[in-house]
Chain A
Amino acid sequence: MTDATITLSGLRKRYGATDAVAGLSLSIGPGVTGLLGPNGAGKTTLMRMLATVLAPTEGQLRLLGLDPADPEQRTDIRRRLGYMPQEPGLHRHFTAFEFVDYVAILKEMTDTRARHQEVRRVLRDVGLDDVTGRRIRKLSGGMRRRIALAQALLGDPHLLVFDEPTASLDPEQRMRFRELASSLGQERIVLVSTHQTEDVAALCQRVIVMRDGDAVFDGTPAQLCAVARDRVWVADSRDVRARLWWRTAEGRHRHVGEPPPDAQLVEPTIEDGYLLLAGPTATDERAAA
């Protein structure tokens, strides 16, 4: 019997003198967990280690109770894993059906009839059942992304690792992804690495914010939102004391940071909380501290 969790203990991945992941310790169970962070925060490196394609430099990693360092256990993990990399490298000359069918063989599905049924199922689940015969090179970026998503769903895996799954999806498809991922997350471990804070707010029961290879926040989306409580305000003109600001569609200026005493505070969003923790000025402040 294996347990359906992921545990990381002092996990580190070093490239030369740089720690892409710097001693991360976490435990992740069933449900949808979002991974937020700026570019270079170590999200993709972490996702690659969780997908068993990259070995950690130090620390312990257990996936579904199994040790990916052991070749046999690693193969067993891969049998239960659905992985959608950031750059899946789709073969452009394949049709959508051919590609997913090809991946199904790599996932050890040898019975042709059952495999084809499964391929049709996952293509239907991602809304591609009407383009199964079209070559990938002729499909839009969003459709290609959905093919990458479809292959990850093959075989009903217990652990799903999605790296930037909603990039280049239109709003309707993003809603569909949320529906799919939330449904999968009822019984499975679903990890979603993304830059889309609204996806995290709408979908994830838990969010981890990464910065410089470490987790700087681990909690619920509401708690991430609360990080910015009383630290977001609007004004008619720009306040130079704010850490971040932008001009809204109404022509007012929205600020994030330490508000002045007479500030008109507004309800924060998850994005405000994220920006406070991992936004462009967070590094400077951390360095200064």
Chain B
Amino acid sequence: MSPNPEAMIRTAIAPTPVPAATSPVAPAPRAALRWALARVEGRRLIAHPLFVLGMAVSILFTVVGGSDGGGGLMALSGGIFLFVGAGLWTFVVACLATSRERRDGAEDFYLGQPMAPRLRIEAALLSTAWPALAGTALIAVAAITIAGPDLTLDSGDHHRPLRPLELAQGPVYLMFVGCLGVFVGSWTKRAYPALLGAVILFMPPVAWLPWFVYGDDVSRDVWDRDWLAGAAVGWHVVGIAGLAALAAAGAMARHDRRPRVALIALAALAAAVAGISLGWPAGM
């Protein structure tokens, strides 16, 4: 203590222990917590002006690309979300939302809350289902508009029915880029990785990697190629879902070092490798 006698003053205040109140908030189940936060985060993602802009661009792509059969197939298979469509902006807004805590210097504030950081990351990952649902709605409306109620594309003498897995590619892709955004956002403190990642991931030629089934010859011989046959598209969806799970595991590893995260990562890697290799277009 201080050698200054006047600076050593302690009076006889003795706090009287009294029974504490019971916890003011009964602990909620973890799943309920996760979903409650995911709902809020998900709504924020799809209401974000950048995501709305991305959806507007995707709608524009749908209108332009859906004017002929081949373009329609590419659009409905998720092509409308590529380049500067909703995929890019899903990545950016998910990254910004996840890094918000550190960008705003609120780490202390969040640490003082009972909800564990890993639950917050899991909620952020779940929230990417909202952009995926928005993408599903857009694909559904576009499919009926372009292919009609029987979901058959017509181009001259050709009639080609759309398969559900083809239509699933776009929403799964949005989920993937959303998880990738959460992954980048969970490990970074600043906003620029979102922009840098956007350029690297979404600007050609790198941007096309997850979409190799759509080579640049798609509009020329899309009707004749067999690489859009069920199995290949199915594996393609598995590959994208595997990449999404891999990104999710990378994000979870930020606050969760349990073996289950490593297992998820390994399973996701296996799915991604299998999906991409088996879904690779024949002859490419």
Contact = CB atoms under 8 A, between A and B. Distances in A.
Interface of A: 1-5, 27-31, 48, 51-53, 64-65, 75-76, 78-81, 83, 85, 87-92, 101-103, 105-110, 112, 155-158, 187, 206, 211, 214-220, 223, 227, 276-277, 282, 285-286, 289
A31 B111 CA distance: 25
B17 interface: yes
B126 to A, nearest CB: 13
A79 B110 contact: no
Given A78-B112, A218-B10, A220-B13, 10 more contacts: A2-B19, A29-B18, A79-B25, A80-B21, A105-B40, A108-B25, A155-B25, A218-B9, A277-B6, A286-B2
B3 A87 contact: no
B65 to A, nearest CB: 33
Interface in B15-72: 15-21, 23-25, 27-28, 32-33, 36-37, 40
A85 B110 CA distance: 10
A48 B107 CA distance: 12
Contacts of A103: 113
B17 A4 contact: yes
Contacts of A80: 20-21, 23-24
A32 B69 CA distance: 73
A75 B110 CA distance: 12
B100 interface: yes
A81 B2 contact: no
6 tightest A-B contacts by CB? Answer: A29-B15, A89-B106, A219-B11, A3-B17, A106-B113, A83-B112
B25 A109 contact: yes
Contacts of A91: 100, 104, 106
Contacts of B111: 52-53
B284 interface: no
Residue of B1, B25, B40, B120 contacting most chain A CB atoms (<10 Å): B25
Interface of B is mostly: loop
A70 to B, nearest CB: 14
Given A28-B15, A83-B112, A214-B2, A286 B7 contact: yes
B120 to A, nearest CB: 8
Nearest to A28: B15
A105 B33 contact: yes
Contact of B15 (A5, A90, A215, A216): A5
A83 B114 CA distance: 11
Contacts of B3: 286, 289
Interface string B102-119: 001111111111111000
Contact of B24 (A28, A79, A220): A79
Nearest to A101: B40
A282 B37 CA distance: 50
